[in-house]
Amino acid sequence: MSIQYNNYSSLTDYIDRNANYAFNQCFYASKLTLIRGALIVGLAPKAHLSLTKELVEWKISTMLAFIDTNTPFSIQNADELEMSERVTIAYFIGMVFAQIHMQSQYNVRHLEHLKNPGITPKSLPEDLKNPDIWGLNHRTGNSYLVEAKGSTVSNEYFNNQNVRKADSQLRAIKQIDYTVSGITLTYSQAISNLEKLIVATHPNLDNEIMQHIIDPKDEEDKVVKVNGDEMVYKHYSHLVKILSEENYKIINLESLPKFKFRTIDFDVYNCSIGLLEDVYQILKPLVVREKEVLKDLNDINKEVNLILDRFEKISNYDLENEKVSVGIDGVIVLLKS
């Protein structure tokens, strides 16, 4: 099955309904892709340590309760909720589908959630205008600052007012200072290595999932500091913790004989979830500690991405079907064998 989307070169082009292409574009995604997105999205620097298997099941069941995963994806059950409940569900749906889009279409392995504690913007404490996520394409060196928006209301287009709000949140950021192993790199539109995107997800008039990808250009004066080692640690640590506490299996895929995955079963969803064993082994000694110390995380970004570089060369990310979904970050969801 596929997810439809349109690209727009600016906020003005979106308001004028002037898409880059005459027809909707699309990319492949399955029910397992949706589960994988729900599993990873929305992590926090400290709260992830208490993300139990029950909470993971809640994240997955929330998506499956409101997304009909038959072809094509569509919204279901949302009309039964009152408005404040719909807003909460819409935000989560928007984040999950933005995560899926950025991994699939922009080859971003790890996404830092900028509204979490621990991210250090140079701004007033009461300024809450940070966009949602930032991530880096390791092949091209380009990075992406993303504001994710979601809605459960069927319409031909996403609400203009909410898109304008997303634009203002993106414009607030001037640059990202990204530190890995003591070296800080700067990402900004001024040096052409930072792209700002609004990813707005909603049901169209046929109730099918539709995405609008809008590229605002303006910027203001906030600088956000991201630690690359902590970013990678946070991306995986809750999953590594669960994998270390549950009964697990080590599996191979026929198409990837040189790589092993550590998986656990989720019987209620008839699937297994897991992670590349090599990545798991790097993270495992860290997540068993009561509290991580930043110096303990030195070089995990480099070590994990070296594994993923090898994984990319062999897999070509051609592992998306109705039986298995493997992300570019090495996270796997597959039907139970």
Q: Tens digits of per-residue pLDDT, 212-256?
A: 999 987 666 788 888 899 889 989 988 998 998 889 999 998 888
d(CA 93, CA 287) in angstroms, rounded, equals 28
d(CA 312, CA 330) in angstroms, rounded, equals 9
Quickly count: other Cβ atoms within 10 Å of residue 99's Cβ.
Answer: 27
158: pLDDT strictly greater than 60: yes
Print the SS3 string covering the chain: CEEEEEEECCHHHHHCCCCCCCCCEEEECCHHHHHHHHHHCCCCCCHHHHCCHHHHHHHHHHHHHHEECCCCCEECCHHHCCHHHHHHHHHHHHHHHHHHHHHHHHCCCCEEECCCCCCEECCCCCCCCCCCEEEECCCCCCEEEEEEEECCCCCCCCCHHHHHHHHHHHHCEEEEEEEECCEEEEEEHHHCCEEEEEEEEEECCCCEEEEEEECCCCCCCEEEEEEHHHHHHHHHHHHHHHHHHCCCEEEEECCEEEEEEEEEEEHHHCEEEEEEHHHHHHHHHHHCCCCCCHHHHCCHHHHHHHHHHHHHHHHCCCCECCCEEECCCCEEEEECC
Question: Which tokens is 301 given?
Answer: 């970004």
d(CA 37, CA 212) in angstroms, rounded, equals 18
d(CA 254, CA 245) in angstroms, rounded, equals 27
228 touches 180 (CB < 8 A) = yes
CA angle 95, 96, 102 (to 5 degrees): 85
pLDDT of residue 317: 52
Instruction: Identify any residues that bridge with 210 across adjacent strands, giving them in sequence order.
Output: 4, 202
41-49 average pLDDT score: 53
Going by pLDDT thresholds of 50, 70 and 90, the confidence category of residue 169 is confident
Predicted confidence (pLDDT) per residue in 283-327, tens digit: 998 886 656 566 778 889 999 999 999 998 877 656 778 889 999
pLDDT of residue 189: 85
Mean pLDDT of the chain: 86
pLDDT of residue 144: 95
125: pLDDT strictly greater than 80: no
140 — phi, psi (to 5°)? -100, -20
Residue 75 or residue 52, greater confidence: 75
d(CA 76, CA 152) in angstroms, rounded, equals 9
Question: Considering the chain, what percentage of its residues have pLDDT values greater than 90?
Answer: 54
94-111 average pLDDT score: 93
d(CA 329, CA 311) in angstroms, rounded, equals 9
